[in-house]
Each structure stands twice: as structure tokens, then as C-alpha cells.
Amino acid sequence: MSTIFNCRCFKKNSLGRAHGFLDETQGTLFFDIARIIKEKQPQAFLLENVKNLKSHDKGRTYRVIKKALENDLGYTVYDKIINAKGLVPQNRERIYIVGFKKPIKFQFPSLPDKGPALRTILEDEVDEKYTLSDKLWKYLQAYKEKHEAKGNGFGYGLADLDSYSRTLSARYYKDGSEILIPQKGKNPRKLTPRECARLQGFPDSFKIVVSNTAAYKQFGNSVAVPVVRLIAEKMIQAIEQDELIENGKGLIAHVGK
């Protein structure tokens, strides 16, 4: 029923002369998403991306995507920026786009304002290999000091274990600088792959069968599982209730921040 996407650009495909969304979105991953939706005609779909998708290129990127979904593909579309921190201990704002083939009424779920603390996802015993070396820790400190002197906020993030972390990204495997766990009497450490999985809401039964580097990249690119689960449940309820928008198909519902 659903599709999750990231809007990275690919080389254009040799598909001949395009028109409509084929013309405006060719060369992006959304082009392929639109083609799949057009071919498969799902009853509903769910898309997720970084919240800046709405402001990218002065809003043009999102306007093209909405036009493709609403006008070219004929779906009733809802969107909302949601922060996952009410369900997982991570500050993770993402835009979620829900579409229905029928003009069905839909409301996004409401999330708690405050979620679990970061310490609740930490492992009891962690291998020393996750502790930063003296060389790396000195480098990160110097890097942060240099940028603070310039008046910007670039640099590592030492996490507050009683609150939530920064956003986990696919680059976490490099040095773990955006989310460092403080340790008494020694250098801070990176999250383990299992802790990254928990940070995204994956259950411990989820098997990690790839290398640490691959796992960090995958979890950094992942959706926050509990958020997607709640939205999907609301989508199923909307389909089952089958309550239609009064003005009929084609009315677009804008559910902003």
C-alpha cells in the first residue's frame, strides 16, 4: 500500500520524449516513484522525505511533486511535517505525504510532545571499539572550537542522556560526531548499530546482518518506524471508514506544520 522515498537525483533515463510529470521530474527518484504509482495504481501510498523538501528550490520541487500526484496521477493528497521525538529519543523532522486514489478524508496521528529518554535505548555493555580515539576526539574538539570562533554551530554533539539526540544521518559511520555518548573518565563513544536501530524504533528482534558501516548508513537513511506505523494505521482506518470529501475527487487537503 505504501512507498517510502528519498529525493536523490539520478541520471536521466532514455525514455523518449516525455510529457507531464515525466518531463518535469525526469532525472529524479520521484520520477520512478511516479511511474510506479501510474503503473500499479495503488489504493494508497505513503512517502517520506526531509522537511526541507517543501522549501527546496524556493518551493518549486515540492510544487512539481504535488502537481504530479494530484493532477497527473489523480490522487487526493495530504502532507504534514512530523517530529519523531515523541516516539523515539531523536529530533527527527520529516515530511510525510499520504495519497488516496479515492477522495477519502484523512487525519494524521497526533504524537506525544515528549518521548522516551536517550538512555533507554543504550546497551548495557559496549565494546571499547566504539569509544573515540584520542586523535579523533582532539580533532572533533578543535573543529568545533574553530567554527564556534567563526560564529556558527558546526561540530560534534555530546548527547543529553535524559533528553533526545540530534538527527541520525547516513554519514554517522564516519565519526559519529552528531550523536556522541558521554562516558565517565574517558572519551565519548559512538552509538552501536543496535542502538541506532533502537533510535529509529526497530525492535531488537530485527536482525542486523550487514557490516557496521553498512548498518550505520542504512539506519541513518531509515524512517522512524513507530511514526510510519501510526500513519499507516490511520490510513487503514480512513480506507475502512470510506468517508469522502464533500466536494468530490480532486480536492487537495493541505495539512501543514
Q: Where in the sequence numbering do the catalytic residues fall?
A: 7
- Separation CA 246–CA 235 (nearest Å): 19
Which residues have a Cβ under 8 Å from the Cβ of 12 and sit 6 or more positions away?
Answer: 26, 27
CA distances from 214 to 2, 129, 199, 224 (A): 24, 17, 16, 18
- Residue 109 contacts residue 232 (beta carbons within 8 Å): no
| Residue 72 DSSP class | I
- Residue 19 contacts residue 215 (beta carbons within 8 Å): no
- Separation CA 190–CA 161 (nearest Å): 13
H helix or E strand, kind and range, residue 238: helix 225-241
- Residue 186 contacts residue 113 (beta carbons within 8 Å): no
| Residue 73 DSSP class | S
Q: Which of 40, 44, 34, 31 is nearest to 1 (CA)?
A: 44
- The residues facing 46 across adjacent strands are 98
